[in-house]
Structure 1
């Protein structure tokens, strides 16, 4: 029994968190959510132990070691604090907050968790999407030399947005949807650079409404983020709009001084190749972002707890990605004015290396 309890039972918990934990043998003590939603939890997921009446009931259960906070962003920071005060490790959904004013609170929670001997991770599950994960491991091995550029192109339709709560989030593509892309790009710039040189020092972003976009949609459907690292390396993340494609996917390139990684994620487009200038090798991949990435995020936290170390997807790491997200939002709000992110401490412990195959 892994001692995991899921707090919040919305669409993502039902479609990704619990299926991932069931498939990968991660024991779930119980689930807490709105009664009208949790009525069928035990029938749909027989491996779940119980349904909690409320948050207090969950936090007082001695069998719960780790709380997977799968609620919406409002109030999420307060829930992290409550879990720590109850002596529980935490995996929090991303983004941990949409309020830049809560960053100092998050930094204090990092210190509080350390004082209590607890671990807080963030569900940046895309880091374990097979093409992205393999790319990260190859970069750590130095297989393309030093990174000089990262490019992402969102070549697929946007998910349904109009009329949803996501559409009411200001600059939603920049402050929620693209956070996965911002986070993995930040990691690749760090993984593929000399210490300190991969830190992003400049962010430019634009978002805009497009021809054909429904009149009642609130958010722009196009967004572009450009980041510059201290080394001079640059990264671009682009959603040209809700794409029309017979073979949709999200293509990416990582160019380095000695090689190039090319790949794609999502919608059965998963692929990754390594080109060293003499030959291009197609690399084997297994699994998929949905739902294996969710098991990867929780599995990294559970492994870190067992090994008494900080998880790779730690709250400290997530704060660094949030700083870039807020910089992109501020740049777009100013019509694309360059924004320097707030300084972020660099990791002080090496990340684990796995077999990239």
Structure 2
């Protein structure tokens, strides 16, 4: 089998990183990924100074900044892992022209995304958003298989999530008026955009669940790519009936071949299972592709590597730059708008 690209190239001269925000995602993904990549983390800042100091001690980070102003004076690339409601204010505090990676989502709605984009552009920031699933080994490999023509004309892209997500690990989501699409399915929407471009439109609806305090935790989406390419997403975070029929799959199928990925981290999150990728030509057989890394934490290396390489002139494209991320947020907004539209009435006798 011809080798498939699975990793983003590394910068030839990596710059130190300052991380703003020290929540669970930093401990579970950012810091492990950066250590594995050999990136230097020069310091941390969080309004909760005790939490920042504890995390710095655990990961041998040499400095905890006392304020955002002090952090902004560092000669570094900034990794903003704070809640999205704080992103715009943080961007205003960073030096003009800085290189910045923003944790997803890019705000909680399109208005916030627009404000973040405009602030980044006004301050001349080289800014991108940490939509890391598209940088995972399995998704980079699928993208490369598509580029090589191994799947032929694409006819199907389907995401199926049917499992139990421990929402209690994310208490900050409770007051949000939007949860599932903007906090979870946004990963799939962004990755689909990266693989096949922007849809023409969307049909979507999200649903709550009696066991959850969150406003919505289940979603059905159908992306409109015309009359040949079918792109459905079926998302259920409450399948609590044992492991046998739980599923976290991402399938891409064409006239000549198919790819099927297992998003292992979502099964028994956060412990997870190994990611898997399988490819088959038309008629089979299926062959498993050995993966060079997992979605968590390895895919978190890619967005930072791309940002640093782009800032240094080594990459021509900043894949998840804020104006491209805005388009993912626009798709999210369209999903919510579609969910507020009643279904077509059924003709009555």
- TM above 0.5, yes or no, is yes
Per the alignment, do residues 187 and 230 of structure 1 end up closer, same or farther by CA in structure 2, a change over 3 Å counting? farther
- Match of residue 3 from structure 2: none
| Cross-structure match for 1:254 | 252
Contact 1:149 1:256 in 2 (8 A): yes
When normalised by structure 1's length, the TM-score is: 0.82
Q: How does 1:72-151 map to 2 (within 5 A)?
A: 72-85=83-96, 87-109=97-119, 111-112=121-122, 116=124, 118-151=125-158
Counterpart in the other structure of 2:187: 180
- How far off is 1:232 after superposition? 4.4
* 1:169 matched residue in structure 2: 176
The whole-number CA distance in structure 2 between the counterparts of 1:52 and 1:205 is: 43
**Residue 13 of structure 1: SS of its match in structure 2?**
helix
TM-superposed CA distance for 1:297, in Å, is 1.7
Query: Matched residues in 2 for 1:77 and 1:141: separation?
Result: 40
1:29 Cα offset (Å): 1.2
Where does the alignment leave 5 or more consecutive residues of structure 2 unmatched?
1-13, 265-271, 345-349
What's the C-alpha RMSD, in Å, of the aligned pairs? 2.2
Aligned length: 319
Listed as ranges, the gaps of 5+ residues in structure 1 are 191-198, 338-357
Quick check: 1:39 aligned with 2:53?
yes
Deviations 1:157-193 (A, max 9, x none): 1222498221322231112111101111122222xxx
Shift of residue 289 of structure 1? Answer: 1.0
* 265-274 vs 282-291, which moves further: 265-274
Tell which has more relative contact order, 1 or 2 (C-alpha 8 A, sep 6+).
Answer: 2
* 8 Å CA contact 1:32, 1:55 repeated in 2: yes
Structure 2: distance between partners of 1:59 and 1:207: 39
Q: Which residue of 2 aligns with 1:28?
A: 41
Distance 1:57 1:11, change over 3 A: same
Q: Does 1:274 align with 2:279?
A: yes
DSSP-derived class of the 1:139 partner: helix
Distance 2:66 2:218 in 1: 42
| Mapped partners of 2:316, 2:291: distance in 1 | 28
